[in-house]
Structure 1
Amino acid sequence: MSLADILEPLQRPLFTVLDTPVSWTEFLGFGSGALCVWLVARQHIANWPIGIANNVLFILLFAQAGLYADAGLQVVFITLAGYGWWTWTHGGGPGSGALPVRRTTRTEWTWLIAAGAVGTFGLTLLLERATDSTVPFWDALTTALSLMATYGQCRKRLESWWLWIAADVVYVPLYLYKELYLTSLLYVGFMTLCVIGLRSWSRDLAVRRPHTVEVSA
């Protein structure tokens, strides 16, 4: 039995939205993605394995839709998930088993913006010349923003939520254009969860600040 035969059931239509079939892959991606973001907002370690499962489903979905950069991005996400899983449990430094929420430093912003700009430009050229992508720039831009946000999430940087919101603002119309209606709806939900996550992490940071000042004094 070939890999295509094994994956074929996941590509079968489950129901239709606006006369467009929604596959098992898209439906399962919807559920696992929403659960993952909710767990991140709660700083729950289970977000990482759930996120890896979500990435595998989205590799299949995006490759099928011709969103090649987004499909390749999922492979990077799986690697980063392993890193994030480790830092959330071991990256708090001496005497701390958990990584605390912090703000993104000026140096990190400089590197993130530079890497995001270079990545968007390079991926746009690659998609234009090596694939049949109909949305090379937008595919590249969302890929770059997502990678920037994922780095911040791995390090528990508060501003990673703003980067996710910026990416989702582009993702929603992009997936509508590609007729991935359920996935587009998922990303509307992601934006709501990102706002919840931003508020939750902001409260956590505010609670920690007085204690940090007291200890350092």
Structure 2
Amino acid sequence: MNPIEWLFDAQLVIGTQTILWREVIGNLFGMLSAVGGMRRKVWAWPVGIVGNLLLFTVFLGAVFGTPNPVNLLGQAGRQVMFIIVSIYGWVQWRNSRNSGEQTAVTPHWASNKVRVLLGLGLVGGTLALTPIFRALGSFEPVWADAWIFMGSLLATYGMAKGWVEFWLIWVAVDVVGVPLLISAGYYASAVLYLFYGGFTLVGFFIWMRVQKKNSLTIETAFPDPRVKR
């Protein structure tokens, strides 16, 4: 058996539950990508893509004949979305680093207009995708699958743009994702989501601190003449 065949068929049996090693390894790559994102490293994007490819085959359980015959179309579809947006983020961060920056991106707050658009996009996208996912036979509650898909899309795009708020979008995704994955039997992914929820809060505060530090540096170097000191 070659390594690819082993990776595709290998299973971890815990009690009465069967977990694919692809699910475990794919989520580990996702976690490593998140660490790289927190540190603003370009390698976070290609590492994440590898995890996306593995998880795509996991969440289409009925298609690939896995022990868990449940299709989470939003989860599977978001892996494709991740790959597309990650290529965009990879190019953005690499270009930023090549321009002389020590790190790949400078964290900054999104404008109030962007925040409103993000909120409307998350809610509106969930409402629009729910009937589509239901018609395709996604696992109930379908709105949760649609919420995770839209939240993941917006969070990944926000990471590429360097918006500090993208971490909070991930928190909103995890709050819905953990119970959905447990009910669908994807326990390895549920555990990662639970851990990742705490990790995203850490990432948020780290990026917020970096943003504040950069703002103070800019203000010191280029003080606003309108402000009396």
Match of 1:70 in 2: 75
Which structure exhibits the higher relative contact order, with contacts defined as CA atoms closer than 8 Å and separated by 6 or more residues?
A: 1
Q: Deviations over 1:109-157 (max 9, x none)?
A: 1222222222111110101223253331110011111111111111111
Q: Which residue of 1 aligns with 2:90?
A: 85
| CA apart distance, 1:92 | 7.9
Distance in 1 (alpha carbons) for counterparts of 2:13 and 2:120 = 41
Which residue number in structure 1 is paired with residue 17 of structure 2?
A: 20
Moved more, 160-169 or 105-114: 105-114
Aligned to 1:149: 155
Q: Which runs of 5+ in 2 are unaligned?
A: 62-69, 224-229
Q: CA deviation at 1:8?
A: 5.8
How do residues 124-203 of structure 1 correspond to structure 2 at under 5 angstroms?
Answer: 124-203=130-209
Residues 1:213 and 2:210 aligned together: no
Report how far residue 107 of structure 1 moved: 1.6
- Taking structure 1 as the reference length, the TM-score comes to 0.89
The root-mean-square deviation of aligned C-alpha atoms, in Å, is: 2.2
Match of 1:100 in 2: 106
Distance 1:184 1:13 in 2: 19
- Residues 72-81 or 13-22, more deviating: 13-22
Unaligned segments of structure 1, at least 5 residues: 1-5
Q: How many residues align?
A: 212
Task: Flag the 1:88–1:114 CA change in 2: closer, same or farther, 3 A.
Answer: same
SS of the equivalent of 1:197 reads helix
C-alpha displacement at 1:13, in angstroms? 4.4
TM-score (ref. length: structure 2): 0.84
CA distance in 1, matches of 2:209, 2:177: 28
Aligned-residue sequence identity (percent) comes to: 27
Partner-residue secondary structure (3-state), 2:13: strand
Q: CA deviation at 1:214?
A: 2.4
Give 1:58's aligned residue: 55
Does 103-112 or 12-21 show the bigger shift? 12-21
Structure 2 residue matching 1:133: 3-state secondary structure: coil
